[in-house]
Amino acid sequence: LTSKLPQVGTSIFTVMSQLAQQYGAINLSQGFPDFNCPPELTELVSDYLRQGFNQYAPMAGVLKLREQISSKTEKLYGFAPDPDTEITITSGATEALYAALAAILRPGDEVIILEPAYDSYVPAILLNGGQPVFVPLQVPSFAINWQLVKEAITSRTRAILLNSPHNPSGAVLSASDLLNLAELVTDTNILIISDEVYEHMVFDGQPHLSLLTKPELAARSFVISSFGKTYHATGWKVAYCVAPAALTIEFRKVHQYLTFSTVTPIQYAIADYLDNQEHYLTLPAFYQAKRDLFHQLLQSSRFTLTPSAGTYFQLVSYENITQERDQAFARRLTTEVGVAAIPISVFYHQQTDHGLLRFCFAKNEDTLRAAAEKLNRL
């Protein structure tokens, strides 16, 4: 068999988590919390399991969950998508990203992506006959250079894929980014896929600027969020996509034959739990405290940290410690120092190495303290 994805190997998240396990290192590499989801939510899931909510969910998702998402979206972003025609529940954001790309791409279509980029984007584009067009984010701010995005647009550009809050940098879109984007796509047929899985993790009192806050952008966007992030349950793989009715029709054609529907009892449980707004409204403060603690713990280390504006990731520069390549250093940090991190070069198609590592701070205080103690020895 000739591989359709010859350049794809094992994901860096799997590689680093395995290495951490093998060497007994503290795992700050793959992004997942080391604490549990809210106990009321696990109770609800087990109630629904026991009550027999164990058969196929509706293809588009449990209606009450879609209704709850609609009212949450209205409260937060001033726009209530229609639960019947504009919201689809998916098996993780990974599925939603794939379904959106599969729904819109024809062979040779170009998708602009900003690097460093989350690792599922390029394979999903390639498998659907598309061509990724790479635009680098500015280093070290990871801000978007809109002039470069403009220059990357051609007659084949089918979509722009954005991610805010941004994995791995923690950068977030600003109001002027949204204006620039709106201006760029006006009078074009370019669609937008907006990966907003960390929508409830934006810090320092800033609001999350969802594309859904701008009607002219919402009208051409697939906006994707993930309950795995919001409820500390990455293993559940329950997410959703908001898109205008015409786009949702095509999106659901793919979803219908990719997975058909998403795990049933968890959808019912989240639908009930969404009555409690407190969880997602206090999530920014919850994660900001972790970010600030991690920052403070590493203050006298030889790493250089730029506070992240969102997500549960912290980038660090290690130029004061070593000139090693980031992949070599990440490996050595895991095997010799006992803390696993993600090297950033793997998020670039040409492995651009800025000497940066990503740590995940979605961890208990004890874990962060133990990791910092090791990192401070360097």
Site for ligand PMP contains 211 (CB under 6 A): no
Q: Smallest distance from the beta carbon of 238 to ligand PMP, in angstroms?
A: 7
Q: Smallest distance from the beta carbon of 259 to ligand PMP, in angstroms?
A: 12
Q: What's the CA gap between 324 and 117, in Å, rounded?
A: 22
DSSP secondary structure code for residue 219 in this structure = T
CA 241 to chain centre: 13
- Cα R_g (the chain), whole angstroms: 20
Q: Report what 163 binds from ligand GLN, ligand PMP, none; CB cut-off 5-8 Å by kind.
A: ligand PMP
Q: Name which of 103 and 113 has its Cβ closer to ligand PMP.
A: 113
Site for ligand PMP contains 308 (CB under 6 A): no
CA 172 to chain centre: 12
Which residue matches tokens 């994660």?
A: 287
| Residue-wise DSSP of 295-351 | HHHTTTSS-EE---SBSSEEEEE-TTT----HHHHHHHIIIIISEE-EEGGGGSTT-
Q: Which residues pair with 67 in a beta bridge?
A: none
Q: Report what 11 binds from ligand GLN, ligand PMP, none; CB cut-off 5-8 Å by kind.
A: ligand GLN
Q: What's the CA gap between 37 and 163, in Å, rounded?
A: 24
CA 192 to chain centre: 15
Could you tell me which of 337, 378, 321 has the C-alpha nearest to residue 356? 321
Site for ligand GLN contains 311 (CB under 6 A): no
Q: Name which of 31 and 83 has its Cβ closer to ligand GLN.
A: 31
In the window 213-252, what residues touch ligand PMP (CB under 6 A)? 226, 228, 234, 237, 239
Site for ligand GLN contains 23 (CB under 6 A): no
Interface mask (CB under 6 A) for ligand PMP, residues 171-210, using x and -? ------------------------x-x-------------
Site for ligand PMP contains 346 (CB under 6 A): no
Q: By CB under 6 A, name the one of 15, 25, 28, 31 that touches ligand GLN.
A: 31
Q: By CB under 6 A, name the one of 61, 81, 83, 92 that touches ligand PMP.
A: 92
Q: Report what 223 binds from ligand GLN, ligand PMP, none; CB cut-off 5-8 Å by kind.
A: none
Q: What's the CA gap between 346 and 340, in Å, rounded?
A: 15
Q: By CB under 6 A, name the one of 73, 94, 230, 301 that touches ligand PMP.
A: 94
Helix axes 63-77, 264-273, angle to 10 degrees: 40
Interface mask (CB under 6 A) for ligand GLN, residues 247-286, using x and -? ----------------------------------------
Q: How far is CA 35 from CA 291, 292, 302, 364, 367, in A?
A: 16, 18, 28, 7, 10
Q: By CB under 6 A, name the one of 88, 128, 164, 167 that touches ligand GLN.
A: 167
The residues binding ligand GLN (CB under 6 A) are 11, 13, 30-31, 167
The residues binding ligand PMP (CB under 6 A) are 31, 92-94, 118, 163, 167, 195, 197, 226, 228, 234, 237, 239
